[in-house]
Amino acid sequence: MRIALSTGGGDAPGLNAVIRAAVLSAINRGWEVVGIKRGFAGLLGEDEVVPLTKDSVRGIAHLGGTILRTTNRGNPFCYPRKQADGSYVEFDRSDELMENARKLGIEAVISIGGDGSLDIANKLCAKGMKIVGVPKTIDNDVSGTVTTFGFDTAVNTALEAIDKLHTTAESHDRVMVMEVMGREAGFIALHSGVAGSADVILIPEIPYDIRRVCDKIMSRDAHGRHFSIVVVAEGAYPKGGSMHTMGESMPGEARRIGGVADQIGREIGRITGKEVRSLVLGHLQRGGQPTGYDRLLATRFGGAAVRAIADGKWGHMVALQTPHIVTVPIVECLQETKRVDTTHDVVQTARATGISFGD
Ligand code: F6P
């Protein structure tokens, strides 16, 4: 049996732990493993396909990033190619990819990625590729699994930042507005904000009213708490408004969400008269060593993906349905993006402990 591994989309801490567990589990079954570099670029002649041995995965489980590299512009069904005039045209290169996989003797593929990569995996499966998915994203927005690896590490990074902001905010009687990632889901903001005792948490699932945000800040002021911490998800938007996007997207890339913290900070300053500082935590959330939780989950996913191949679970992804790792059809998970349930106990407890969602 010759299997291939691919990592696609934005990286997330834990990717290397999945790779290590899958490679070791496969080799210990007597299988051969290759790594497709940079998403599927390695199968399109735009990067390499490399052998993965026990030596290649030695000492990588604790490292962030991915030894296979990745891209968020590598969809083989609409692959951007630069034209002579500098413009880009998208081509369907999936047939070429299938043929190259066949020529390399690749019998099955483990595709590790978020909703974009899982969608690609599902389409390749429909074309006849024997493929199993592993859900990855710091955003935790993939349906069908309780959580994805990378999320816990991102929450801990955000939490550490909130702890640091508390001391400087309090010293200066300032409002600190911190933007975290998450695309259209508010999980990172919610979990880090609640764990970090934020005063206001703004998430896309609960559109905010800036006056309610300022009411909370001024009520704290009236009670002698002259500083406030506002954690805002990059996808948060005001009632009746829309998500903030940043700059130009590259060809083949999804629209870039973010930049909302600066706008919110300026509005809070104008309405409350308080001194405000804002920051975007950005890609720090994607880097660093995976937490123990993410390392274990990623390792379990890697091992389970190899078992799924042995069981012929084509078109399925491995998933955590506590306390077990199961397999679920990718197509079911793609039906909707997972978003924060606004009736969830975490939201209820946040409200009960005085956190404002600006609604
Ligand atoms: O999906 C993961 C994520 O980190 C989002 O939270 C964020 O919006 C996006 O990727 C940023 O992607 P990049 O900067 O790599 O294009």
The answer to whether position 178 is within a domain reads yes
Based on the domain organization, do 126 and 145 belong to the same domain?
yes
CA distance 209 to 239: 6
- pLDDT-derived band at 257 (thresholds 50, 70, 90) equals very high
Q: Which residues contact 135 (CB under 8 A, 6 or more apart)?
A: 113, 114, 118, 142, 144, 145, 148, 301, 317, 318, 319, 333
Based on the domain organization, do 9 and 138 belong to the same domain?
yes
- pLDDT-derived band at 68 (thresholds 50, 70, 90) equals very high
Q: CB under 6 Å to ligand 1: residues?
A: 10, 72, 114, 137-139, 181-183, 234, 257, 286
Q: Which residues contact 77 (CB under 8 A, 6 or more apart)?
A: 92, 93, 94, 120, 123
- Mean pLDDT, residues 19-42: 98
The answer to whether position 333 is within a domain reads no
Residue 250 pLDDT = 77
Residue 277 pLDDT = 98
Residue 162 pLDDT = 98
How high is the mean pLDDT of the chain? 97
The kind and range of the H/E element at 4 are strand 2-7
State in Å: Cα 294 to ligand 1 middle. 18
CA distances from 243 to 151, 237, 257 (A): 22, 5, 7
Q: Whose CA is nearest to atom 10 of ligand 1?
A: 10
pLDDT single digits (tens) 214-229:
999 999 999 999 999 9
Length of the chain: 359
Based on the domain organization, do 143 and 232 belong to the same domain?
no
Residue 251 pLDDT = 75
pLDDT single digits (tens) 328-359:
999 999 999 999 999 999 999 999 999 999 99
Residue 269 pLDDT = 98
The answer to whether position 330 is within a domain reads no
Domain count, the chain: 2
Smallest CA-to-CA distance from 263 within 352, 202, 313 is with 202
Residue 246 pLDDT = 86
The answer to whether position 334 is within a domain reads no
Based on the domain organization, do 66 and 92 belong to the same domain?
yes
State in Å: Cα 257 to ligand 1 middle. 8
Based on the domain organization, do 261 and 129 belong to the same domain?
no
- Mean pLDDT, residues 28-55: 97
Based on the domain organization, do 137 and 175 belong to the same domain?
no
The answer to whether position 230 is within a domain reads yes
pLDDT single digits (tens) 165-184:
999 999 999 999 999 999 99
Residue 192 confidence (pLDDT) above 90: yes
CA distance 21 to 70: 19
Burial of 129 per CB tally in 10 Å (0-12, 13-18, 19+): buried
The answer to whether position 328 is within a domain reads no
Residue 252 confidence (pLDDT) above 90: no
Number of H helices, E strands in the chain: 10, 13
Whether the upstream peptide bond of residue 323 has omega within 30° of 0, thus cis, is yes
Residue 253 confidence (pLDDT) above 80: no
Which of 112, 117, 256, 338 gets mutated to test ligand 1 (max ligand atoms within 8 A of its CB)?
256
Annotation says 221 is catalytic = no
Residue 57 pLDDT = 98
Based on the domain organization, do 242 and 310 belong to the same domain?
no
pLDDT single digits (tens) 99-142:
999 999 999 999 999 999 999 999 999 999 999 999 999 999 99
Residue 270: which CATH number? 3.40.50.460
State in Å: Cα 67 to ligand 1 middle. 19
> Of 11, 47, 115, 139, which is the active-site residue?
139
Residue 81 confidence (pLDDT) above 90: no
- Mean pLDDT, residues 236-249: 91
CA distance 37 to 342: 39
Residue 248 confidence (pLDDT) above 80: no
Helix (H, G, I), strand (E, B) or coil at 191: helix
Residue 102: which CATH number? 3.40.50.450
Domain around 204:
153-286+341-352
The answer to whether position 336 is within a domain reads no
Residue 209 confidence (pLDDT) above 80: yes
CA distance 7 to 85: 31
Pairing of strands 108-113, 2-7: parallel
DSSP, residue by residue, 238-292: BTT----B-SPPPTTPPPPB--HHHHHHHHHHHHH---EEEEE-GGGGG-SPPPH
